[in-house]
């Protein structure tokens, strides 16, 4: 799944079942008017694109201070509050995750695992699909924090 091209990974509006929201809810909320399946492909030219680094919220900062592992996943099609709600619900139920935040500006899922916990890239991608989205890339540790070169 992570090896698919960005063009092949589009938002699946019909996969919100795992979030508890209906497709009709997604269609009718006010922020959805400009949401298109190809939204996640904007800026897909990797020759000059930069990947978002971890967004620090109070919960993210606290979890990092406690020694949690930072993870940032680029998510295709995440453009509205409803999108963030679906992702937060799916990932927030996982006991290995200490903090979760979906940054709509960077279209990134920010996770901090509890110290010693593991969560594979494949599991992150599968959970994103349950919420109705696709993961383009996953960065961990210093790379997620923006400290790696």
Domain residue extents for the chain: 6-145
Residues 82 and 29: beta-carbon distance below 8 Å: yes
Cα–Cα nearest to 60, from 109, 13, 94: 109
Q: What is the pTM of this model?
A: 0.68
Q: What angle, 0 to 180 degrees and rounded to 10, lies between the N-to-C axes of helices 81-92 and 121-131?
A: 130
How far is 137 from 76, CA to CA, in rounded Å?
10
pLDDT band per the 50, 70, 90 thresholds, residue 102: very high
Q: Which residue has the tokens 């383009």?
A: 136
How far is 107 from 34, CA to CA, in rounded Å?
15
Predicted confidence at residue 29, as pLDDT, reads 42
Sheet harboring 69-76: ordered strands across? Answer: 97-103, 108-113, 69-76, 134-140
How far is 30 from 5, CA to CA, in rounded Å?
30
| Chain center to CA of 144 | 13
Per residue in 57-83, pLDDT (tens digit) is: 999 999 999 999 999 999 998 888 888
Pairing of strands 108-113, 134-140: unpaired
The first and second tokens of residue 110, run together, are 């920010």
Per residue in 37-46, pLDDT (tens digit) is: 334 333 333 3
Architecture of domain 6-145 in this structure: 2-Layer Sandwich (3.30)
How far is 56 from 121, CA to CA, in rounded Å?
21
Res. 13: pLDDT tops 60: no
Highest mean pLDDT pick, 11-15, 27-31, 83-87: 83-87
Which residue has better confidence, 33 or 133? 133
């Amino acid at each position: 799944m992570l090896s698919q091209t960005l063009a092949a990974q589009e938002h699946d509006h019909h996969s919100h079942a795992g979030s508890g929201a209906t497709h009709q809810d997604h269609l009718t909320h006010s922020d959805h008017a400009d949401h298109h399946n190809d939204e996640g492909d904007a800026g897909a030219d990797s020759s000059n694109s930069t990947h978002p680094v971890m967004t620090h919220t109070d919960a993210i900062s606290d979890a990092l201070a406690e020694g949690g592992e930072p993870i940032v996943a680029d998510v295709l099609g995440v453009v509205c509050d409803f999108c963030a709600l679906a992702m937060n619900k799916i990932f927030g139920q996982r006991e290995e995750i200490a903090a979760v935040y979906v940054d709509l500006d960077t279209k990134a899922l920010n996770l901090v695992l509890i110290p010693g916990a593991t969560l594979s890239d494949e599991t992150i991608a599968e959970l994103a699909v349950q919420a109705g989205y696709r993961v383009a890339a996953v960065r961990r540790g210093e790379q997620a924090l923006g400290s790696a070169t």
